[in-house]
Amino acid sequence: MRRATIKDVAEKAKVSLKTVSRVINNEPSVMQATRARVLRAIAELDYEPDPSARNLRSGTTFVIGLVYDNPNPYHIIGVQNGVLAACRETGFGLQIHPCDSSSPLLADELADWVQRSRLAGLVLTAPMSERRDLIQALTARGIKLVRIIAATEDPADGACVFVDDREAAYEITEHLIQLGHQRIGFLWGGTSHRSSGERYAGYEAALKDYGMTVDKHLVVQGDYTFDDGFRGARRLLALREPPTAIFGSNDEIAAGVLAAAKSAGMNVPYDLSIAGFEDSPFSRQSWPPLTTAKQATEDIARHAARLLIAQLRSDAYDDAPAPLHNQGFVPQLVVRGSTAPMRPAAARPLPSDPS
């Protein structure tokens, strides 16, 4: 029996040669039903396409990779869901790769992964997306990537989605100031994340604009975790003059602050106002629910993946539409039950060391 050809497949599936070729090439944008018909014809005819023709022009597959190093499951799932939404729109697959962002061998590790899995490109989240040496090393090896970064404006140095954490942190701090709080604690989320520095800058700018000075005893270093929020809050609440409000630089930190306040018998928000950042599902499920900044994590990640895929298609096909543009997002203040006007001093419990 002679071997089946692509023409046999096209005739059996009642589609054009071009369509069979698109299916063989795993190209997106073939209707699901058409794809199924072509695949059935291929199976029935035992047709074997030339394997070297089954990939993108560059020899990679229709799979992108997502790189993350974040301790927060809600954040990771949000990012994954956004990237997966863009993949579904275009028929791409998604490989995931958690990593140690501080590893000096990270460029080799990622390049090895891309090569072995023949990935078409990468979505890099923070803090990897903010390591200039890493970006340069990956780009030098010809790896296509898009970055999600914290920045007030487009740095115009490659494909990225930028999130203005500074502006949003300013608004949260302003909200606390307008509630009458004079002593507002700030808990950092790890210095390797540019977002944490940006959020601190927003906090500092708001205090300055309202004529308040930064008391460095009210600022505590830590990571983007519940445990560091708990520890940081315990330290702040043990001060001789504790804060009446604490801004945790993400929702996990704020949840840790909430647990610390409750374990100390405090009534939130009346004894202590607490604000977080991100609007993770977590922030709506705590009691009281958390005032936060809505970060639209899924939308941000979806746009990043669309940007990458548009770039890949534009590189691979002459007739592809022009790539999308970089886009900025500003998280929006969401006020919930964890923040309240400061109580007048007389109504607060007496300090343990009255003077």
Q: Given the rule CB under 8 A, which residues bind its own copies?
A: 26, 32, 35-36, 39, 51-52, 59, 61-63, 73-74, 76-77, 80-81, 84, 91, 93-96, 98, 108, 112-113, 115-118, 226, 255-256, 258-259, 262-263, 281, 285-287
Nearer to its own copies, 281 or 351 (CB): 281
Minimum CB separation from its own copies for residue 84, in Å? 6
Nearer to its own copies, 3 or 240 (CB): 3
Minimum CB separation from its own copies for residue 285, in Å? 5
Structural contact between residues 220 and 185, judged by C-beta atoms closer than 8 angstroms: yes
Cα(81)–Cα(32) distance, integer angstroms: 21
Sign, Cα dihedral of 53, 58, 64, 67: positive
Q: At which residue do the structure tokens 């209707």 appear? A: 31
Nearer to its own copies, 217 or 234 (CB): 234
Which amino acid is located at 337 in the chain?
Answer: G
Minimum CB separation from its own copies for residue 228, in Å? 12
Nearer to its own copies, 104 or 354 (CB): 104
Nearer to its own copies, 159 or 268 (CB): 268
Cα(40)–Cα(35) distance, integer angstroms: 9
Minimum CB separation from its own copies for residue 218, in Å? 23
Minimum CB separation from its own copies for residue 171, in Å? 26
Nearer to its own copies, 10 or 255 (CB): 255
Minimum CB separation from its own copies for residue 74, in Å? 5
